[in-house]
Structure 1
């Protein structure tokens, strides 16, 4: 599912009517942009609409779809979307049936569904259904220490207050129809990523990690949530995840990186993202330094240049002038 909205100034929109030409264009578009094979119910109207846009690292799709089924393309197909994402779907109105791994479930209005496309699935719409779908990179979940491998379909309890709050947040973002600024959408995507564990944390459907992996996940989550803390030390991280410092150092070393270098890398990556927003805000280098947990702006500038080969200010100017660097 590769959404052109990533670089588009506005939502990417498609409209389907009942003409043969429109059906063929919709079928091609569904394969090209979403990695799905479309099949139409014979003898029925299939009029549908879709709009998609990015929320920073996430992609959001809002669709009204009728009398068709969508199934994942096979590996080897030029439009196969890969398995680097999880999908969170919210049925806004109508019904949707999903089949995956021998399991078939019907979802009603207001229900959330989480699925992993590395296992082929098929979704069917036998009536006009309004659906919101989020494509979530697994790498972003791993960076936050969230679990990211699912055994099968997962429908969190929509009546639970926290899950309901996440649903309301998704609905409000969908209602904005991609009209907000790119900077706002990035921040909304970050907010959703920070909340996604509310619908992910169900041990009955998530792969059980080895105890070392679970500790590593918790440590990375704590680090991601506390990057702004200049006093984020190995002692503090170990205490937060109930592990010894020595054990935590061994876990990170097994991934080829030291614990505090991992913290340093995550801080620089956050700084690089903030610098890319400088052309849309009045954020200052000094503010970025403190927001990323560096003790002084000078320390931040040295670390940034050592890693990226340019100073933070030069990186900002490259964004403003449209030049591209490796930041």
Structure 2
């Protein structure tokens, strides 16, 4: 995927705040900026271009941003900005409403609406992961999603938790993706944001059937990942947790080319393999690692591991860690 990086440290201290302001105005909707740290402003941002969607992990010193009616008339990309707050706090003021934000809250802004945002670092740099999505891409009726501007959305659970996990994973590691993966990842992100908006607005019926199916599958996979340690994690338990029939659950995974039970076993084996290759867990017995990931019987774990990776768990650990295992 296409990725660009911006750092204020690339220019002299006296020029850094203007440099940041020009960068934001060129890559996002134009804004007026002010900061008590303008004399030597510190900031960096990565822009990950996922087709028409942009994700931007960023860190910056406290500042105030104004999106004024004049600036809207000058340039409006007609997009939603979502910011996942990771460190620091802030407020946003739209004139008729005001919202406060803390870590793992989601701030929603419409570039067509005037707003004043005050970002406070609490003595340190602010960190967040932002998303910019053209409004026309969201799978919701025009104007419906705008009701969430200034609303309280959490990134800790539900669809917000799924979105948080996706954004943090994307921000941590882009090296695994090629240029053709950008638009596909952007499509996944649009589905997640659209599903989160529809859920909060109680408007799931407004989503296209294929969007509902894709987001349900993402929720199921996230649920499985969170419960791999539970030996009672079965297809029946997964179906019950999502209020769907077992036959429908199997149809969802059949379209992916793998059964539900196989998917669960693959995920458990992969987590166990990572632990066996981790020097920090070299002193943990193999059977405890197996039990940690939901394998009740050590012999069954050993057979499954050998089938998947061509070697026994103890041999894999010894070959991977060498002297560290001893």
TM-score, structure 2 as length reference:
0.55
Is 1:113 the equivalent of 2:100? no
Q: Does the CA contact (< 8 Å) of 1:156 and 1:199 recur in 2?
A: no
The answer as to 2:19 corresponding to 1:25 is yes
Q: Counterpart of 1:58? A: 53
Give a deviation string over 1:205-249, Cα, whole Å, max 9, x none. x9x9xxxxx98x45xx1366689xxxxxxxxxxxxxxxxxxxxxx
Contact map agreement 2:91 2:117 (CA 8 A) in 1: yes
Unpaired runs of 5+ in structure 1? 1-7, 209-213, 228-327
* Structure index of larger Rg: 2
Matched with 2:120 is 126
- Over 3 Å counting, the alpha-carbon distance change for 1:12 and 1:49 in structure 2 is closer
Does residue 85 (structure 1) correspond to residue 79 (structure 2)? The answer is: yes
Does the Cα contact within 8 Å between 1:91 and 1:107 map onto a contact in 2?
Answer: yes
The answer to whether the Cα contact below 8 Å between 1:89 and 1:133 also exists between their aligned partners in 2 is: yes
Within 2, Cα distance between the matches of 1:37 and 1:118?
15
More helix by share: 2
Please give the residue correspondences for 1:260-275 in structure 2 after superposition, counting only pairs within 5 Å: none
Distance 1:168 1:33 in 2: 25
Structure 1 position 80, deviation (Å): 2.2
CA distance in 2, matches of 1:42, 1:145: 40
Task: Report how many aligned residue pairs link the two structures.
Answer: 209
1:135-171 alpha-carbon deviations (Å, 9 max, x no partner): 1111111479994322631222334333212211111
What's the counterpart of residue 318 of structure 1? none
Point out where structure 2 has 5 or more consecutive residues left out of the alignment.
215-326
The answer (yes or no) to whether the contact 2:155–2:163 under 8 Å persists in 1 is no
- The C-alpha deviation readout for 1:178-222, integer Å capped at 9, x for no partner, is 773222222111111112233212666x9x9xxxxx98x45xx13
What is the alpha-carbon root mean square deviation over aligned residues? Answer: 3.4
Return the TM-score normalized by structure 1: 0.54
Which of the residues 222, 241, 252 maps onto 2:209?
A: 222
Describe the superposition over 1:243-297 as per-residue Cα deviations: whole angstroms up to 9, x where unpaired: xxxxxxxxxxxxxxxxxxxxxxxxxxxxxxxxxxxxxxxxxxxxxxxxxxxxxxx
